[in-house]
Structure 1
Amino acid sequence: MVRVFITGSTDGIGQAAAKLLAEQGHQVVLHARNADRAASAKAAIPNAAAILVGNLSSIEETKKLAKDANNAGPFDVVVHNAGIGYGSTASREITSDKISAVFAVNTLAPYILTCLMDKPKSRLLFMSSDSHYSGDETLKNATQSHSYGNTKLHDTMLAKAFARRWTDIQVLSMHPGWVKTKMGGNSAPVQLSEPAKALASWVAGEGSLTKVTSGAFVTTSGESRPHPGADNVNKQEELLEICKSVSGVEVPGE
């Protein structure tokens, strides 16, 4: 049995994987953006261990969520699944912190949570996308960009940066496929069950993805070659510095 925290688990892949894991007897801590979404998620997965609330577009709420998550832990696995910026979730909002909402939710929130939460015992995942291939590895104007592809490249880079630091656990970034979800839309060719099963299997410590080298970018079926810029260590470090500068949160021990 594992204890896992999954952000963005009120719908889509996050909820589907969480439901599978809870049904298998694992301890699943859900995350919702607000109280209304938390109530609907709890109704959908009544056997969840807990549900935490926090708006990831807010730096302060994300910091509080990290504290709440530590109180609900420790966790064997953490999955940074929450995301916006594609399809019906596209946004050009600038948050009260004066950064792009897409950057805040997709890039900065996973960084803050990873830095402030206790390190998971076994595995850590940053949900990426094949859209990351269109991302800008120069990181120019990163905090103001509304580009989904940019933030998914950031997630791939964050996974690699933390994998270099935390060599005792597996850290991955994942492209789940073009999936029939609110974000992916009805024309997407992949059924929700496919990535949900793959993610749940990995969380549970089963399947081939658990054998992949830490830091890798993967699909639901195995390791894949990422955007060339994702492997640039200098750019990985630059991204960490950008996140630190915006949030005031440092990588543990640095």
Structure 2
Amino acid sequence: MPARLSDRNALVTGSTDGIGAAIARALATEGAHVVVSGRNSARGEKVVAGIAEAGGRATFVAADLGTGAAVRELADASGPLDILVNNAAMLLNPAPTADVPEELVDGALAVNVKAAFLLTGLVAPRMAALGRGAIVNLGSINGLFGSAGSALYSMTKAAMHSMTKSWADEYGPSGVRVNAVAPGPTSTEKVAALTEHVAPILAKVPSRRASTPEEVARAVVFLASDEAANIHGAILSVDGGRSAI
């Protein structure tokens, strides 16, 4: 079967490990040239090397998306893009709202929301000028319903869902599709460290298990491909059915 993303250029933010790395690998497997980005150069180069060993194409661009200047540098360094995946985010430990320090609020908003907002504002108009492109945002089921102790993280992911719908209306008429994937608990190293918090959630999941990073990545590939040609503004949950109940 022909690769679905041949000759397309993609940028995946926060792709040096976990879900982001799985997305980068999946896009490359489908023929895209992938810009892997993140703060850790050693991990980023390892992802790029793995993609190359599998016959794919990728480059690494170091980026700490906590500032607008860094976002602009990443956009310039990535070159023309056909696909943008806004994945970079701080995964926050559950905590009472009153115990969350202001600097953590500022950091989460900067990385989880502001970076995606600014990067899309730089990339989407370039796509629109060419009349094509796909943007996939990584939301979360935490952005779909409330959870005690997760107000900050949930707020940032609800913002991603809201931006997805607004951008679908803003850029869709110019041929740029904007959608989101909302993962539930996913078997990454970071989530494994939150076992005490995650276990009660999994007990309510119809599938009774966490998703794998590869399962989330396949949803991103679908939304980035021509198979989703008339899908705009969708929030696709990959959560074992948790958000349905």
TM-score, normalisation: structure 2: 0.72
Q: Is the 8 A contact 2:136 2:181 kept in 1?
A: yes
For residue 187 of structure 2, the aligned residue among 177, 180, 185 is 180
- 1:14 corresponds in structure 2 to 20
Aligned partners of 1:81 and 1:165: how far apart in 2?
21
Structure 2 CA distance for partners of 1:180 and 1:38, relative to 1, 3 Å:
same
- 1:194 corresponds in structure 2 to 215
Structure 2 CA distance for partners of 1:79 and 1:160, relative to 1, 3 Å:
same
Letter of the 2:186 counterpart = V
Aligned partners of 1:58 and 1:110: how far apart in 2?
11
Deviation of 1:152 (Å) = 0.3
Does structure 1 residue 104 correspond to structure 2 residue 113?
no
Aligned partners of 1:104 and 1:146: how far apart in 2?
16
| CA deviations over 1:45-90 (Å, ceiling 9, x no partner) | 2343322211011222122112222xx2x221111011113349xx
Q: Is the 8 A contact 2:13 2:88 kept in 1?
A: yes
Q: Is the 8 A contact 1:7 1:31 kept in 2?
A: yes
Aligned partners of 2:143 and 2:233: how far apart in 1?
15
Q: Is the 8 A contact 2:82 2:134 kept in 1?
A: yes
Q: Secondary structure in 2 aligned to 1:150? A: helix
- Output the aligned Cα RMSD: 2.9
Q: Secondary structure in 1 aligned to 2:66? A: coil
Deviation of 1:133 (Å) = 2.9
Q: Is the 8 A contact 1:129 1:177 kept in 2?
A: yes
Q: Is the 8 A contact 2:179 2:223 kept in 1?
A: no
- 2:97 corresponds in structure 1 to none
Does structure 1 residue 158 correspond to structure 2 residue 163?
yes
Q: Is the 8 A contact 1:5 1:29 kept in 2?
A: yes
Deviation of 1:26 (Å) = 2.0
Q: Secondary structure in 1 aligned to 2:34? A: strand
Aligned partners of 2:218 and 2:17: how far apart in 1?
15
Q: Secondary structure in 2 aligned to 1:159? A: helix
Q: Is the 8 A contact 2:28 2:51 kept in 1?
A: yes
Runs of 4+ residues deviating >6 angstroms: none
Deviation of 1:122 (Å) = 2.3
What is the aligned-residue identity percentage?
27
Deviation of 1:14 (Å) = 1.5
Q: 1 or 2, which has the higher helix percentage? A: 2
In structure 2, runs of 5+ residues without a counterpart are 1-5, 95-99, 200-208
Does structure 1 residue 45 correspond to structure 2 residue 56?
no
